[in-house]
Amino acid sequence: MARRWVVALLAIVAIAMPAFAASPSVYLEELTWPELRAAIASGKTTILVPIGGTEQNGPHMALGKHNVRVKVLAAKIATALGDALVAPVIAYVPEGDINRPSGHLKFPGTITVPAAAFETTLEYAAKSFKLAGFRNIVFLGDHGGYQKDEEAVAQRLDREWAGTPVRAIALTEYYRASEIEFAQLLKQKGYSEAEIGSHAGLLDTSLMLATDPALVRADLLGETKPGDGTHGDPRRASAALGQLGVNLIVARSVAAIRAATQPH
C-alpha cells in the first residue's frame, strides 16, 4: 500500500512539473537566452527598465528602497500588460557631487554617479534591448532626481531611431502616480502634508510595507527626528495604505504605456 502511495505521488509531481516550467519569469535576468528569444518571438516586445537608486531612507528603512520597490512594481506592470518583460534594475544613479557631498550623500550608503555616466548607461542598455528585438523600451524611474535625464535619453534615442518601429519612452506617469497622485489620495483620506512627507514619511514607508516589509524597521517608526534623513512622519504607515499606492501606480503606468505604444 505504501509503495502505491509513493508511485501515485511521483506521478502527480511528474505531471505538475512541466506546467510549472511552462511559466517563465517576467524578469529578463531569470531567463535563458533561448527563453528570451522565444518570448520576444511570441510578442513580448516591450521591455521595462526599472531605475532605482541607493540612498539613505531614514533610520527605519533600508538603503535599497528604490531598487526593491521599482523591481516589484515593474513586475506587476509587466504582468498586467501581458506583452512585457522587466530588465535588471539600474541601482547606480546621480545623487549629487561626490566632492561636495550634500543631501543624501551626507549619510553612509548613498551611492552617486555623474549624470553623463547614468545617461550613457540608459542609452546603451536601450540599444542592447533594441538589438535583442524589443520594440518598446520603457524607463521607469522611482526617484525624482533623474527624471529629466530619462527624458533626455529617450528623446535622443527616438531621434536616432526615427523611421524604425523601435521607441524609447520615459514614463513620467509612473513617478507622478507614486509621488503626486498618491499624496493627493492620502490627503483625501485625512492625512496631512507634513505627515505624508517627501522622503521616508508616511507615503514612502507605506509603499515599502506593501512591496517588501522586510526593508522597514517597524520598531523604529516612532523614533524619527530632525536631521535623521526623514522628511515626513512614518508612524501611521501601513501595508494597506501602501497597497492603494501600488494599485494607483500600476494602473496609471499600464494605461500610459498602452497609449504610448499604440501604432501611429
Instruction: Please name the residue ranges forming H helices in 133-231.
Output: 147-160, 172-176, 182-188, 193-196, 202-211
SS3 label, residue 37: helix
pLDDT at 139: 98
| CATH superfamily placement of domain 25-260 | Creatininase (3.40.50.10310)
Q: Is the pLDDT of residue 222 over 90?
A: no
Mean predicted lDDT score pLDDT of the chain: 92
pLDDT at 17: 40
In the chain, where the domains are located: 25-260
pLDDT at 24: 84
Q: Is the pLDDT of residue 112 over 80?
A: yes
Contacts of residue 64, defined as CB under 8 A and 6 or more positions apart, other chains included, come to 52, 54, 91, 215
Q: Is the pLDDT of residue 68 over 50?
A: yes
Classify residue 221 by its DSSP letter: G
Type and span of the H or E element at 82: none
pLDDT at 9: 43
Q: What is the dihedral of CA 55, 57, 59, 61, to 10 degrees?
A: -110
Kindly state the average pLDDT of the residues 79-97.
97
Reported pTM: 0.90
Percent of the chain with pLDDT over 70: 91
pLDDT category, 4, cuts 50, 70, 90? Answer: low
Q: Is the pLDDT of residue 8 over 80?
A: no
Helices and strands per DSSP (H, E), number in the chain: 10, 4
pLDDT at 224: 81
Kindly state the average pLDDT of the residues 202-224.
95
pLDDT tens, residue by residue, 10-33: 444 344 443 334 458 999 999 999
Q: Which residues of 153-176 are buried (b: 16+ CB within 10 A; e: fewer)?
A: bbeebeeebeeeebbbbbbbbbbb
Joined together, the cell numbers standing for residue 195 give 505627515
Phi-psi region of 103 (alpha: psi -120 to 50; beta: other; left: phi over 0): left
pLDDT at 54: 98
